[in-house]
Amino acid sequence: MHNFLLTTSLGLESLTKHEVNKQGGTITEVQDKAIYFNGEIEMMARMNIWSRFGNILYYVLDTESQLTDFDTYFDIVFAQDWKKYIPRGFAVMIKATSIKSDLGATSTLQALAKKAIAKKIVGEKYLDEDDRLGKIEIRILMENNTLRILLNTSGIGLHKRGYREMTGDAPLKENIAAGLVILSGWKFREPLYDIFCGSGTIAIEAAMIARNMAPGMKRHFAFEKWSWIQENLLEQEIKLAKTKEFEGEYKIYSTDIRHDIIELAKRNAKFAGVDKNINFGTQDYVTYLRRELQGWLVSNPPYGLRLEDANVPKIHEDISELLKKNSNLKGGIITAHTDFETYSNTKYKKRKLYNGGEMCYFYKKEQN
């Protein structure tokens, strides 16, 4: 058995927990933004390609070591099999975090870890590091005097699926977009509308969810360069994931007022392999106000923090009216414009989420 930590965004923990379970991991602990689990080594590749809601998948080297002094800390770090874990010549990046612990000086924790690793590998003070060969990121987590040593198996955050070459203004993180689709309760055979689609993130994530496509199949992961991991592990998991994909007929509508942005969204959808599943169009949202809509609205209107020039209150009043008028329109919007819920007597279920550090709410219309 191997121990892992999958980090996520605040508000997505329950969804992340569910996807770990679904892929066969055994959850051992859940904290804010953190799901600890164990499983076979295959889970390293499987969770990296399958996680829709996670940020980074860490391999946990040492758990549960209680300590309050630097000598013990040094010895525990030194005791790890660094020759196995660190590819020869790789740059070693160490980041320490300390919460409610006697050893609170994170710069000392980092410096001592580096020293312990160098001593273990070369028996000297300095490692021979060349970041052109690659780098390995080690996280030291001290929490309530418990030490955890973690290896970043993902590399860059898992929300970066690799399909979004470029974005429009104020893009949603892909894991947040995927979260909205699930939280909305969208039924895949029903229409789904994103009427402020920007780079198309919500529609693309929705199509991938509906088709059961693993979101990480188009990117690379840090662990691919680790010699202690069986070479074809990722390949095998990708092959398996491909057998689980399916085609279907979907009614996903993704529109934005900017034509250039729609062209970009189409390109992103093509990279993601779901362009045939989405109807893109250049359209002002006001055209929807004149139509009868049924199905699901999952959208991210301009809310003023980054798109100053849009008429934010008016747009939110109109969306509120749209949701009220169309009794068969479910779902809702993600926004930081908290006056939204005051614009009509429509009842919403609110979920606090963070998009790149910005606090927003997903307002999901309550069904009668």
Ligand X SMILES: C[S@@+](CC[C@H](N)C(=O)[O-])C[C@H]1O[C@@H](n2cnc3c(N)ncnc32)[C@H](O)[C@@H]1O
Instruction: Enumerate binding residues for ligand X (CB under 6 A).
Output: 167-172, 196-199, 201-202, 256-258, 261, 284-285, 300-302, 310
Q: Which is nearer to ligand X, 11 or 171 (CB)?
A: 171
Q: Shortest approach of ligand X to residue 201 CB, angstroms?
A: 3
Q: Which is nearer to ligand X, 103 or 264 (CB)?
A: 264
Q: Shortest approach of ligand X to residue 191 CB, angstroms?
A: 17
Q: Which is nearer to ligand X, 284 or 366 (CB)?
A: 284
The DSSP H or E segment spanning 363 is strand 358-365
| Sheet strands (E) in 103-250 | 135-143, 146-152, 192-194
Q: Which is nearer to ligand X, 168 or 179 (CB)?
A: 168
Q: Which is nearer to ligand X, 135 or 164 (CB)?
A: 164
Q: Shortest approach of ligand X to residue 325 CB, angstroms?
A: 18
Residues 295, 329: contact at Cβ < 8 Å? Answer: yes
CA atoms within 13 A on the CB side of 338: 6
Pairing of strands 2-8, 54-66: antiparallel
- Cα angle 367, 298, 248; round to 5: 100
Which residue's structure tokens are 């908290």?
338
Q: What is the dihedral of CA 181, 182, 185, 188, to 10 degrees?
A: 70
Pairing of strands 252-256, 278-282: parallel
Q: What is the dihedral of CA 195, 201, 207, 208, to 10 degrees?
A: -170
Q: Shortest approach of ligand X to residue 187 CB, angstroms?
A: 21
Q: Which is nearer to ligand X, 49 or 180 (CB)?
A: 180
Which bin fits 46, alpha (ψ -120 to 50), beta or left (φ > 0)? alpha
Q: Determine how many CB atoms are found less than 10 A away from the CB of residue 311.
A: 11
- Cα angle 133, 134, 137; round to 5: 150
Residues 237, 46: contact at Cβ < 8 Å? Answer: yes
Q: Shortest approach of ligand X to residue 218 CB, angstroms?
A: 17
Q: Which is nearer to ligand X, 2 or 258 (CB)?
A: 258
Q: Which is nearer to ligand X, 19 or 256 (CB)?
A: 256
Q: Which amino acid is at 366?
A: E
Distance CA 205, CA 334 (A): 15
Spell out the residues 6+ positions from residue 211 whose beta carbon is closer than 8 angstroms to its own.
245, 246, 247, 248, 274, 277
Supply 8's token pair: 């996520």
Task: Look at residues 263, 311, 252, 259 and name the one whose alpha carbon lies nearest to residue 286.
Answer: 311
Q: Shortest approach of ligand X to residue 301 CB, angstroms?
A: 6
Q: Which is nearer to ligand X, 75 or 169 (CB)?
A: 169
Q: Which is nearer to ligand X, 4 or 196 (CB)?
A: 196
Q: Is the dihedral of CA 184, 190, 196, 200 positive or negative?
A: positive
